[in-house]
Amino acid sequence: MRHFDLSPLYRSTVGFDRLFSLLDQVSGVEAANAYPPYNIERTGENAYRISVAVAGFAEADLTIETRENTLIIKGGRERSEAGDKTEVLYQGIAARAFERRFQLADHVSVTGASLANGLLHVDLVREIPEAAKPRRIAIGGATPLVEAKHAA
């Protein structure tokens, strides 16, 4: 009972990659796959892309929304019983409804989404506000004085 499985945290977060890569190195834990399969990629220094395999789903069947620091991707298809006269002998392509949630780090926002070749791509960017960026403080002997302008 001394081992904790943190893999759900690893596979559903974006922007915490430095922390989780350190945890992965220490523990050697690999994330488990779930439906639908997906990739999280770093496309730039502060840019990410989540690619979700959504074969068989159209744009109208998918919804993407963000709430606070959570990205929610939902998919669901309505089956048409009246017009479909075919009998499926083997169904290897899963078309069940799904909901996938990803925890986003602070200052990570969605910039766009596209659907191509059965893959849903969600582009993300981390935009750190100027006030939160590290600042270099000059070391000097005297502190400069700020002159106040008086209104006449």
Q: 3-25 pLDDT, tens per residue? A: 556 666 666 666 665 555 555 54
What confidence score (pLDDT) does residue 144 get? 57
What confidence score (pLDDT) does residue 6 get? 60
Domains in the chain with CATH codes? 35-130 (2.60.40.790)
Give pLDDT tens digits along the chain (152 positions).
Answer: 455 566 666 666 666 655 555 555 444 444 444 788 999 999 988 899 999 999 888 899 999 999 988 899 999 877 655 556 778 888 887 778 899 999 888 888 899 999 999 899 999 998 888 877 788 888 886 655 555 565 55
- pTM for the whole thing? 0.61
Q: How far apart are CA 93 and CA 95, in angstroms?
A: 6
What confidence score (pLDDT) does residue 137 get? 83
Phi, psi angles (nearest 5°) of residue 10: -65, -45
Q: Is 89 left (phi over 0), alpha (psi -120 to 50) or beta?
A: alpha
Q: How far apart are CA 103 and CA 122, in angstroms?
A: 14
